[in-house]
Amino acid sequence: MIVKQVLENLDIDYLSVELGEVQIAQSLSTLRLLDFGKSLSPYGLELLDDSKSILVERIKKVIVEAVHYEDEPLKINFSNHLSEKLNHAYTYMANLFSAVEGTTIEHYIIMHKIERVKELLVYDELSLTEISYNLHYSSVAHMCNQFKKVTGLTPSTFKTFKSNRQLGLVNP
């Protein structure tokens, strides 16, 4: 919404605005691009103009979509999924991602998967088995071990902790 508002305020015609991407209707002058970038800055947003940074952002977008928004678990592993979606060799993307972000694609995926596990535990609609299946874990044990390694808590301890904390907020 912020990006759309900035585009409209600057009277820039656009075709679409999606997570991390804007399609502009016509080419913009360097001055207009600078204005656009400056207008985004107060919101913590920036324009990416080099192909490597853009590819890294596209990698992040594909991971976030797969982990947080896909209803069905992936039928293939993440490396193949990324290669198919972005038309680049996984090794190239992995090396680029590590160089730009200072972390691996695998670690980035794990962090998002654990955040998604937390969300699903708080919603309390799925069993641990269903969560592990939906997030493409090989087993519930693998998911639980990874969860504990990242958070320091087991999923059941996290769930208990969160529900006790929510009850404390509701009933002071």
Query: What's the 3-state SS for 21-50?
Result: EEEECCCCCHHHHHHHHHHHHHHCCCCCCC
- Half-sphere exposure in the Cβ direction for 91 (13 Å, CA): 0
* Predicted local confidence at residue 166, as pLDDT: 52
Compute the distance between CA of residue 27 and CA of residue 33 in angstroms, rounded to an integer.
9
Q: What is the pLDDT along the chain (172 residues), one digit of tens a residue?
A: 888 888 888 888 888 888 767 888 888 788 888 888 888 888 888 776 677 888 999 999 999 998 988 777 677 888 999 999 999 999 999 999 998 899 999 999 999 999 999 999 998 889 999 999 888 898 999 999 999 999 999 998 998 877 666 544 444 4
Q: Which domains are assigned to the chain? A: 2-47 (no CATH), 52-170 (1.10.10.60)
Structure tokens at 155: 């999923």
